[in-house]
Amino acid sequence: MKTKLLLPLVLFAAAILSMAFQTDTKPWVVPDKNVKMVNPVKTSPASVSAGKALYIKNCIDCHGKTGIGNGKKAPDLKSTPADMTKPAFQSQTDGALFYKISEGRNDMPRGKKDYPDESDRWNLVNYVRTFGAGK
Ligand code: HEC
């Protein structure tokens, strides 16, 4: 009787453990309506420099000066900040980036709370676009 119970118990524990350790690697799914959201703040030197000021103050410690994810806090994080210069990052829509900056996940803070003004978050989107190749 006891051994019969052991197997499901071990499987259950393994499932819980793998969930706990996989939060970092699971793809970050953005709801379709957010992916399709149009950026209402057209990119401009003013928007990019407003985004840059926020980035230097609030993002650089984890994401690094050039967006590659090598900020001074990065080694202490349990999750990994993505390399923002890469196509995997830059190919996302403005709406998807806005959603991730707004909602946060794991070590990534919830921007919605820290920057309640949506235009701040769109300025951040416009700034992180400058990390893409050729800009
Ligand atoms: C405390 C460290 C930390 C700070 C501060 C931080 N981030 Fe992050 N960020 C992360 C981590 C870690 C991830 C990856 C989270 C995950 O995948 O679960 C992330 C993910 C992201 C993503 C999604 C990347 C992808 O994979 O598509 C964006 C966009 C982003 N951050 C932008 C910002 C911006 C803009 C700021 C400043 C307003 C900021 N982050 C501040 C740690 C941080």
Whole-number pLDDT of residue 5: 73
Residue pair 85/133 in contact (Cβ under 8 Å)? The answer is yes
Whole-number pLDDT of residue 6: 74
Whole-angstrom CA distances from 77 to 18, 26, 27, 107 are 19, 16, 18, 7
71-87 mean pLDDT: 96
Whole-number pLDDT of residue 55: 98
Q: Which of 5-9, 18-22, 115-119 has the lowest mean pLDDT?
A: 18-22
Whole-number pLDDT of residue 25: 65
Residue labelled with tokens 């000066």: 65
- Report how far ligand 1's centroid is from the alpha carbon of 9 (Å): 36
- Report how far ligand 1's centroid is from the alpha carbon of 108 (Å): 4
**Is the domain defined by 26-131 classed in CATH 1.10.760.10?**
yes
- Report how far ligand 1's centroid is from the alpha carbon of 103 (Å): 10
Whole-number pLDDT of residue 26: 85
Residue pair 82/69 in contact (Cβ under 8 Å)? The answer is yes
- Report how far ligand 1's centroid is from the alpha carbon of 44 (Å): 23
Higher per-residue confidence, 1 vs 111: 111
The whole-chain average pLDDT of the chain stands at 89
Q: Which residues line ligand 1 (CB under 6 A)?
A: 24, 28, 54-55, 58-59, 61-63, 73, 77, 79-82, 89, 92, 97, 100-101, 105-109, 111, 124, 128
What's the whole-model pTM score? 0.86
